[in-house]
Amino acid sequence: MGEVQNTGKNGLIGIEVKAVFYDISGSIVWVESGYTMRSTLPPREKSPFHIWFSKDEIADRSINFTRYDIWPEEASDTSYIPYGEFKVSNVSVEREDGLYVTGDVENIGSLTSTAHIVVSVYDEGGKLVGCGSNFNPELEHGQTWSFEIWGPAPPGTIDKWVIYVEGTPSEISG
């Protein structure tokens, strides 16, 4: 889990993040990749990402790594601006057996749209400690969606969170 920030002047889509793991001698022992949770990343904005692999995968392959490098591998420039006419309310972020985020998203615009919600959760030092997402395939104008997002339990204390909602109007998506 980590975060990517678009430091360029153009929006980005299809952001692939790559992780390379090295053993004590500096040899590559594992390579894995994933994509950012936000599909479109405007300039100066951030998106969390997950690169998934299990401890069992590492153990099964007798992989012992001592360091790793992570970087954005691939992305394409875009001028597309996602539909953003949403209002988020009644947000609750809990840390019990895992990260549990609930709230309401209302489509306050005039178009029917998808709604993709992404949450980033931070500790007191501003470090990303949790993230998750959910998707609604159709949210009509004026309609409210009560969302739920689950994730692994973040370490430490949750200090703040940021919620992003982006969509694609039905007239564009299909």
- The reply to whether 35 and 95 lie within a common domain is no
Residue 7: pLDDT band by 50, 70, 90 thresholds?
Answer: very high
pLDDT at residue number 1:
86
Q: Are residues 90 and 74 in the same domain?
A: no
> What's the domain count of the chain?
2
**Residues 101 and 167 placed together within one structural domain of the fold:** yes
Same domain assignment for residues 38 and 91: no
- Structural domain boundaries, residue 26: 2-78
Q: Are 138 and 169 in contact (CB under 8 A)?
A: no
Give yes or no: residues 57 and 18 share one domain. yes
38 and 19 housed in the same domain:
yes
Examine the fold and report which residue of 78, 100, 125 is the final residue of a domain before the chain moves on. 78
With a cut of 50, say whether residue 173 has pLDDT above it. Answer: no
CATH number for the domain spanning 74: value is 2.60.40
How is the beta sheet containing 113-122 ordered, strand by strand? 128-139, 113-122, 160-166
Q: Which of 78, 96, 124 is the last residue before a domain boundary?
A: 78
Instruction: Kindly state whether residues 120 and 167 are assigned to the same domain.
Output: yes
109/104 Cα distance (integer angstroms): 15
Mean pLDDT (whole number) for 7-18 = 95
Question: What is the chain's mean pLDDT, rounded?
Answer: 90
pLDDT of residue 52: 78
Q: Is 72 exposed, middle or buried (0-12, 13-18, 19+ CB in 10 A)?
A: middle
Mean pLDDT, range 89-117, rounded to an integer: 93
**Mean pLDDT computed over 132-151:** 94
Per-residue pLDDT at 96 exceeds 80: no
Boundary (domain end) residue, out of 34, 56, 78: 78
Tell me: do 93 and 47 sit in the same domain. Answer: no
User: pLDDT grade, residue 117 (50/70/90)?
Assistant: very high
At 126-137, the pLDDT tens digits run: 999 889 999 999
31/62 same-domain check: yes
Q: Is the pLDDT of residue 105 over 80?
A: yes
CATH number, residue 104: 2.60.40.10
* Same domain, residue pair 95 and 168: yes
Shared domain check, 65 and 99? no
Strand-pair category, 11-22 with 144-151: unpaired
Give the pLDDT score at 40.
Answer: 94
162 with 112, same domain?
Answer: yes
pTM: 0.85
